[in-house]
Chains A and B, each alone.
Chain A
């Protein structure tokens, strides 16, 4: 029992559980369905969820800092819409379009960050309004879906990067997403910015008193999240080859679920960016399992995601309670108070 409790209190407990769960889910699929156990199925997880991974990376930083960003799904949709409009109606060069939408996403996030930090507004309500705004702007451009037939986009959509040694392929989007993940891991664990993010999530007041640039960091976090959402939008438009205001509805919830399942603490200050990859892959495996089964309706995806969210939130609570108990046992001042989290 004591061993178990100390295991609960280890920092990477939920991350371990996540990886184990991923393996178990995949093993279940491999046993139950023919053709599930193949390299391509694994790679397809990445191909189909590259955009979710990128959004999840941005969301991880926001949640690490103790905030939340509900606008990402809408920013993604807005990006696909603006890209499609600029490409099809104004015939801009695709690279210029991509640079523009990425900058726009970053600016959008930064503006929300400014509101959140300088006017002390709740991240939840500001990004909620941002979500409405971005979705509404989509419909202002067009209420219909705009097809993209730009050669570069089509090429990005259809290119298959083959591996030499196995018979499997990935899409260019996967490469971009993985590069982004590497960049994010570097940012989070090896830069001043990353440390400031963790410090703010741990305790904003302390971070401020330590002399960390809280304001600048918070604005940068939301700008980064907006940038990630825009990049995800670019990847999504490679994937779908269209811009549409109804694209990616509810993606913000999937992203939050992926981050939570990946082991990042919702109260902020604790978690790994790499965990988000496992979270995204778990969501992907669940979808693949349901697709392979064929008899289960897609509603099951939502229910299973809900159940997983619940289980992982519960595990997080147990973990923080275990940590508090361990701290108490050591006679240290209780650093984590379980009761003040109702705020």
Chain B
């Protein structure tokens, strides 16, 4: 009697567990999280001391911290890109905006060494706050330009942002004359390689942005509106949503994120390189967003997913580098991953996999 009760309870609990497992597996985040877990598992077995984290000079050091730190600009860009893709758009000017904002900050800060009473000091050209504000301001202008073309003129997003992608990098190169501008001003570096409470400062920026965004999306109607615009722009407009204003906002926000990422990148390398800063970052950002489960057809989006997507990309890069595989493989692996993710999102492919008739295949 007693034992039967126990077994009954066991059975019901296993059924409950199975149901919960199914629910967990069907959760949209399960796939990106699974991919990240597999990658980390490979790292755990293949790279000795991967998860070791040490305290040195009051900072945390370790591979994991390194990955998270290096993924910070990508995470920011991916956050902005998520919203754009959620409205059925795309922003391929992210890399150019990164180059522009980094260049402007570096030029305005510059930094010269002044010897005061025998102590060398670094002074910036104009106060750093102004320089950063100017750089972000220009990023906002870039976003407004994109938003104007897409929302007001109704150009296709890929072409509208293509214009800035081509011309923007040209502008940045024009500003720097194609040279790399080196910055000699310590406080600026804090943005890219500083530590706060033992953790990289860039992480706090990303976390701050994420929290603000998540609150905006979940606690206000903004998230709902963005989703509805992505699912059906015409119906949303007819339902009284100010579609154009929303799309405008989304592009401005994306450029702001890109601008912030640009500041981070140039602070990290202590210089601004208009030729290469943020090159192909837009593609990585799109990849991160896709990996995170946001549908490229618009509507469904996941901010956490995009952050995880960015982490996957950085972890992949780190793994490839530390396994001693030629880094060139990275691009091939990335492209194969994109193909697989896209296929797995395609309903036609799922139907094919279940061996049901393909229906209206052609």
User: Are A and B co-members of a single complex?
Assistant: yes
In the assembly, what is the distance between CA of A310 and CA of B93, in Å?
Answer: 14
User: Which listed residue (A267, A300, A310) contacts B163, Cβ 8 A?
Assistant: A310
Proximity string of chain B (209-252) to chain A, C-beta cutoff 8 Å, 1 when within and 0 when not: 00000000000000000000000011001000001000100000
In the assembly, what is the distance between CA of A124 and CA of B89, in Å?
Answer: 12
**A133-B336, A342-B247 given; A297·B174 CB < 8 A:** yes
Q: Which residues of A contact B164 (CB under 8 A)?
A: 306
Q: Nearest-CB distance from B22 to chain A (Å)?
A: 26
Say if the beta carbon of A136 comes within 8 Å of chain B: yes
Q: Nearest-CB distance from B297 to chain A (Å)?
A: 8
Instruction: Let me know if B336 and A302 touch, CB within 8 A.
Output: no
Q: Which residues of B contact A185 (CB under 8 A)?
A: none
Interface of B is mostly: helix
Q: Nearest-CB distance from B246 to chain A (Å)?
A: 11
In the assembly, what is the distance between CA of A21 and CA of B247, in Å?
Answer: 33
Give the contacts of A292-336 with B (CB-CB under 8 A): 297, 299-303, 305-307, 309-310, 313-314, 317
Say if the beta carbon of A202 comes within 8 Å of chain B: no
Q: Which residues of A contact B133 (CB under 8 A)?
A: none
Chain A interface residue count: which class? Answer: 35 or more
**A313-B155, A342-B233 given; A257·B166 CB < 8 A:** yes
Q: Which residues of A contact B334 (CB under 8 A)?
A: 132, 136
In the assembly, what is the distance between CA of A146 and CA of B334, in Å?
Answer: 25
**A253-B165, A343-B88 given; A125·B342 CB < 8 A:** yes
Instruction: Let me know if B170 and A135 touch, CB within 8 A.
Output: no
User: Which listed residue (B163, B331, B347, B361) contacts A136, Cβ 8 A?
Assistant: B331
Instruction: Let me know if B328 and A136 touch, CB within 8 A.
Output: yes
Say if the beta carbon of A8 comes within 8 Å of chain B: no
Say if the beta carbon of A214 comes within 8 Å of chain B: yes
In the assembly, what is the distance between CA of A302 and CA of B335, in Å?
Answer: 27
Give the contacts of B128-159 with A (CB-CB under 8 A): 149-150, 153-159
In the assembly, what is the distance between CA of A115 and CA of B48, in Å?
Answer: 40
Q: Which residues of A contact B178 (CB under 8 A)?
A: 297, 299
Chain B interface residue count: which class? Answer: 35 or more
In the assembly, what is the distance between CA of A341 and CA of B149, in Å?
Answer: 12
Q: Nearest-CB distance from A275 to chain B (Å)?
A: 16
Instruction: Let me know if B153 and A314 touch, CB within 8 A.
Output: yes
Give the contacts of B6-63 with A (CB-CB under 8 A): none
Instruction: Let me know if B167 and A340 touch, CB within 8 A.
Output: no
Q: Which residues of A contact B173 (CB under 8 A)?
A: 297, 299, 302
Say if the beta carbon of B2 comes within 8 Å of chain A: no
Proximity string of chain A (56-85) to chain B, C-beta cutoff 8 Å, 1 when within and 0 when not: 000000000000100000000000000000
Instruction: Let me know if B158 and A125 touch, CB within 8 A.
Output: no
Instruction: Let me know if A125 and B155 touch, CB within 8 A.
Output: no
Say if the beta carbon of A53 comes within 8 Å of chain B: no
User: Which listed residue (B233, B329, B330) contacts A343, Cβ 8 A?
Assistant: B233
Say if the beta carbon of A339 comes within 8 Å of chain B: yes
**A120-B347, A121-B346 given; A115·B339 CB < 8 A:** yes
Say if the beta carbon of A97 comes within 8 Å of chain B: no
Say if the beta carbon of A226 comes within 8 Å of chain B: no
Instruction: Let me know if A342 and B167 touch, CB within 8 A.
Output: no
Q: Which residues of A contact B336 (CB under 8 A)?
A: 133
Q: Nearest-CB distance from A282 to chain B (Å)?
A: 14
Q: Which residues of A contact B328 (CB under 8 A)?
A: 136, 139-140, 143, 245
Proximity string of chain A (114-153) to chain B, C-beta cutoff 8 Å, 1 when within and 0 when not: 0101111110111011111101110110010000000000
Say if the beta carbon of A266 comes within 8 Å of chain B: yes
Q: Which residues of A contact B157 (CB under 8 A)?
A: 342
In the assembly, what is the distance between CA of A297 and CA of B343, in Å?
Answer: 44
Q: Which residues of B contact A342 (CB under 8 A)?
A: 88-89, 150, 154, 157, 233, 243, 247
In the assembly, what is the distance between CA of A232 and CA of B289, in Å?
Answer: 33
**A119-B343, A340-B234 given; A125·B247 CB < 8 A:** no
In the assembly, what is the distance between CA of A39 and CA of B295, in Å?
Answer: 53
Shortest Cβ distance from B88 into A: residue:
A343
User: Which listed residue (B159, B166, B290, B329) contacts A125, Cβ 8 A?
Assistant: B290
Say if the beta carbon of A256 comes within 8 Å of chain B: yes
Q: Nearest-CB distance from A103 to chain B (Å)?
A: 21
Say if the beta carbon of A215 comes within 8 Å of chain B: yes
Proximity string of chain B (77-121) to chain A, C-beta cutoff 8 Å, 1 when within and 0 when not: 000000000001110000000000000000000000000000000
User: Which listed residue (A115, A253, A317) contacts B155, Cβ 8 A?
Assistant: A317
Say if the beta carbon of A338 comes within 8 Å of chain B: yes
15 cross-chain CB contacts under 8 A = A129-B335, A132-B335, A139-B326, A216-B362, A245-B328, A253-B166, A257-B166, A297-B177, A299-B170, A302-B170, A303-B170, A310-B163, A317-B153, A317-B154, A342-B89
6 residue pairs, one from A and one from B, having the closest CB atoms: A306-B167, A302-B170, A136-B331, A139-B328, A215-B362, A132-B335
Known: A133-B331, A313-B149. 11 other contacts (CB 8 A): A115-B343, A120-B348, A121-B343, A133-B332, A139-B331, A140-B326, A266-B156, A313-B153, A313-B155, A313-B160, A317-B154
